[in-house]
A and B are shown apart, each in its own frame.
Chain A
Amino acid sequence: MFRTAEEGARPARLDRDRGLVEAARRDPSHFDALYRKYLAQVYSFAYYELRDHHAAEDATERVFMQALAGLPRFEERVDAFIASRAPLSTAESTDISTFRVWLFRIARNVVANERRRDRRRPVSSLEAAAELAAPDDVVDSAAAHEAIGAAWQAVARLPEDRRRAVILRFVDEMSTAEIAAILGRSEGAVRVLLHRALRSVAEDLASGERSGRGSRLS
Chain B
Amino acid sequence: MLGGGTRDARRTERYLDGLVAADERRASEVPADADLDPAIRLAARELRGSLTRVHPSFRFEESLAARLSAGATRLKAGLEAEEAVAAGEPGTVASFRNRAGIVVSSLPAAEPAEATQSSAHAHAVWPPAAFRRLPDMSGRRSRPLIVGGVGVGVASAAISIGAVYVAWRHSHPASSRMGRAARAAHGRTGHSGHGRRAGVINGILGVVS
Write the residues of chain A forming the contact surface with B, with a CB cutoff of 8 angstroms.
27-29, 31-32, 35-36, 39-41, 43-44, 47-48, 53-54, 56-58, 60-61, 64-65, 68-69, 129, 131-137, 147-148, 150-152, 154-155, 166-167, 169-173, 176, 188, 191-192, 194-195, 198-199, 201-203, 205-206, 215-217
Contact = CB atoms under 8 A, between A and B. Distances in A.
Given A28-B71, A64-B68, A191-B9, 18 more contacts: A27-B76, A32-B65, A43-B56, A53-B56, A53-B136, A60-B56, A65-B81, A68-B68, A68-B71, A129-B50, A132-B125, A134-B128, A155-B47, A194-B12, A195-B12, A195-B40, A198-B43, A217-B42
A143 B44 CA distance: 18
Given A35-B64, A58-B141, A167 B51 contact: yes
Given A29-B76, A39-B61, A61-B67, A68 B40 contact: no
B contact residues, range: 35 or more
B55 interface: yes
A198 B44 contact: yes
14 contacts: A29-B73, A39-B55, A40-B56, A53-B56, A54-B140, A65-B71, A68-B72, A69-B71, A132-B54, A134-B125, A171-B51, A191-B6, A199-B39, A199-B43
B48 to A, nearest CB: 6
Contacts of A201: 43, 46-47
B177 interface: no
B54 A40 contact: yes
B42 A205 contact: yes
Contacts of A135: 129
Contacts of B97: none
B50 A202 contact: no
B47 A170 contact: yes
Contact of A199 (B10, B40, B54, B81): B40
A132 B52 contact: yes
Of B5, B8, B51, most buried by chain A (CB within 10 Å of CB) is B51
Contacts of A147: 46, 49-50
Contacts of B125: 131-132, 134
Contacts of A43: 54-56
A174 to B, nearest CB: 10
Nearest to A172: B53
B163 to A, nearest CB: 36
B43 A202 contact: yes
Interface string B65-88: 101110111011000111000000
A57 B108 CA distance: 14
B13 interface: yes
Contacts of A166: 47, 51
A203 B37 CA distance: 12
A39 B56 contact: yes
B32 interface: no
Interface in B2-50: 5-6, 8-10, 12-13, 16, 20, 37, 39-40, 42-50
A53 B138 CA distance: 13
A203 B125 CA distance: 29
A31 B66 CA distance: 12
A28 B75 contact: yes
Given A64-B64, A173-B20, A151 B123 contact: no
B146 interface: no
Contacts of B64: 35, 39, 60-61, 64
Interface string B168-181: 00000000000000
B65 A151 contact: no
B82 A69 contact: yes
Contact of A65 (B9, B60, B82, B132): B82
Contacts of A39: 55-56, 61, 64
